[in-house]
Amino acid sequence: MSELPTPTATRLRAPSWRDSRLLVGVLLVLVSTVLGALALARADHRVPVYAATGFVGPGERLEPGDVTVVQVQLGDGTARYLPADAPLPPDTFALRNLGPGELVPAAGVGPASSVGVQQLSLLVDATSASALARGSLVDVYVNRPVAGTGVGRATFAGPERVLERVAVVRLAEEDAVLGGADQTRAVQVMVPRESVRDLVADVDLGSRITLVPVPGSAVGGSES
């Protein structure tokens, strides 16, 4: 009887770096890693901008404590806001009202030469002033005395609205209320430069000034 041939065992060889399939696999892994990293970087493309920590009225200097740095991802819209990749310039003033938590618009701040308002202190009825707070927006009404009427017994012509939506930036302490029966309280508002002269003249004439809060603005007891 003839002997059957004995099968020879085949050894498995470790893949060589010259193996094209191995090279293709490594290349695919590298490409996937790079593409994933790029996609992640684009998905988290946030930049630092400034946001107001509290109310800042128009004409007020923006101090470092008035702002905080937040990371935002707004695409092309990011350019509309004040970047926080550099310290806040010392000559930075609010050109309009900035609310707490609001991103500071680049067009909403500028140097002192760009400020179009001035701070003016007005004496108003103490009771109506108690409804106001720093950050209140008010319409200013002036009630002028009729010419020829005596002081203390003056007849008034009737209230006229002379300014709209001006910002209250400071109120005198309640214990600094002035007067007897007609108690008044000093309220500082930011008045457009072109209106300061006329409003000062009204004050000198003894006109009664009333500040009427704009609906939805800050009220007494809010941030001061």
Give percent above pLDDT 90 in the chain: 54
Contacts of 143 (CB under 8 A, 6+ apart): 156, 157, 158, 159, 160, 207, 208, 209, 210
pLDDT exceeds 90 at position 73: no
Per-state percent for the chain, helix, strand, coil, to nearest 5: 25, 35, 40
Q: What is the pLDDT of residue 223?
A: 47
Domain range 47-113, CATH architecture: Alpha-Beta Complex (3.90)
Rounded to two decimals, what is the model's pTM?
Answer: 0.70
Query: How confident is the model over 129-155, as pLDDT tens digits?
Result: 989 999 999 999 999 998 766 556 678
Q: What is the pLDDT of residue 11?
A: 57
Look at residues 121, 132, 116, 110 and name the one whose alpha carbon lies nearest to residue 217: 132
Contacts of 207 (CB under 8 A, 6+ apart): 142, 143, 144, 145, 156
Structure token pair of residue 98: 């900035």
For the chain, domain boundaries: 47-113, 116-213
Look at residues 200, 210, 201, 222 and name the one whose alpha carbon lies nearest to residue 166: 210
Range list of H helices, the chain: 20-43, 126-129, 193-204
Query: How confident is the model over 159-214, as pLDDT tens digits?
Result: 999 999 999 999 988 655 665 556 899 999 999 999 999 999 999 999 999 999 99
Q: How far apart are CA 112 and CA 97, in angstroms?
A: 15
DSSP line for 77-90: GGGGB-B-SSPPPS
